[in-house]
Structure 1
């Protein structure tokens, strides 16, 4: 495992733990469980992307499914900050490798987060903004890496 993967794992795990604590404190009960379990699954799949070819698709599918499940079960909005960071890293790593379907699917998750916001919310929720900002940051980082890399002369 590369150092960047270890750093991502540590930061995302810390974000998942803080989010779990905050959800348990504010929503009570097991409100933290969906975010933490789905977030951990997405993180693990993102970390496995080099070894398992379908890991990226599986991570995106888990995130989208958890977004819909959160809405259907009146759970806190998903994906939370830890998962959003893992997805942003996935977007950033995919762009330099011309896997453009990953950022498009991740954008669909951002849109699903917005579309599944609670009906009484006006405008964008904090979760939607966090997801949009991290997606944009991942895309910018990936594009910067793509265009900063010298290309061989033809």
Structure 2
């Protein structure tokens, strides 16, 4: 719960900051599309514990559509995924890798990697580097936590001696 509260605060601050910076640099309504995409993907990241496969897949799909729109429109719109969108997608991919069965987790991770490759097709910018670092972190962290969870389940609960059980010894 506290993780989601913290993520929500980071997502909100990032969306507002990005919108402000786009209003200042690109002008006009350039900030609207990226902000809507960010809000949707961030909301999905916050709801990731419900229907994990569907929500993670939807987040990657929304981000993929944003990247395609960014490529098609050329330089008339800011590049996607925006940094906060990339962070939210990384949260979804990392969570999927940690918790989902191997098949769906692999599909979602592959989708995230393809979205990141799409960002590179759109051009080399700070946005591209941030998206790549986020995806790399999601892949490493998600797989690492999956291995830790698997090892802890394999070892089972720690054995307790009679002294730690709380019952008096006679």
CA distance in 2, matches of 1:24, 1:142: 35
2:7 match? 8
1:57 match? 57
2:137 match? 137
| TM-score, normalization by structure 1 | 0.87
Report deviation, 1:39: 0.7
Structure 1's consecutive aligned runs of 4 or more residues displaced over 3 angstroms after TM superposition are: none
Superposed CA RMSD: 1.7
Per-residue deviation, residues 14-65 of structure 1 (Å, max 9, x unmatched): 1111111111111000111111100100111222232245221111111111
Q: Which has the larger radius of gyration?
A: 2
- Contact 2:56 2:93 (C-alpha < 8 Å) held by counterparts: no
CA distance in 2, matches of 1:19, 1:69: 18
- Contact 1:34 1:70 (C-alpha < 8 Å) held by counterparts: no
Greater relative contact order (CA < 8 Å, ≥ 6 in sequence): 1
Secondary structure of the residue that 2:153 maps to in structure 1? coil
Per-residue deviation, residues 113-134 of structure 1 (Å, max 9, x unmatched): 11122xxxxxx21111000001
Q: How does 1:1-154 map to 2 (within 5 A)?
A: 2-53=1-52, 54-73=54-73, 74-97=76-99, 98=102, 99-117=105-123, 124-149=124-149, 150-152=152-154
Unaligned segments of structure 1, at least 5 residues? 118-123
- Higher percent of residues as helix: 2
CA distance in 2, matches of 1:100, 1:14: 31
- Contact 1:13 1:82 (C-alpha < 8 Å) held by counterparts: no
CA distance in 2, matches of 1:125, 1:82: 15
| TM-score, normalization by structure 2 | 0.80
Unaligned segments of structure 2, at least 5 residues? 157-170
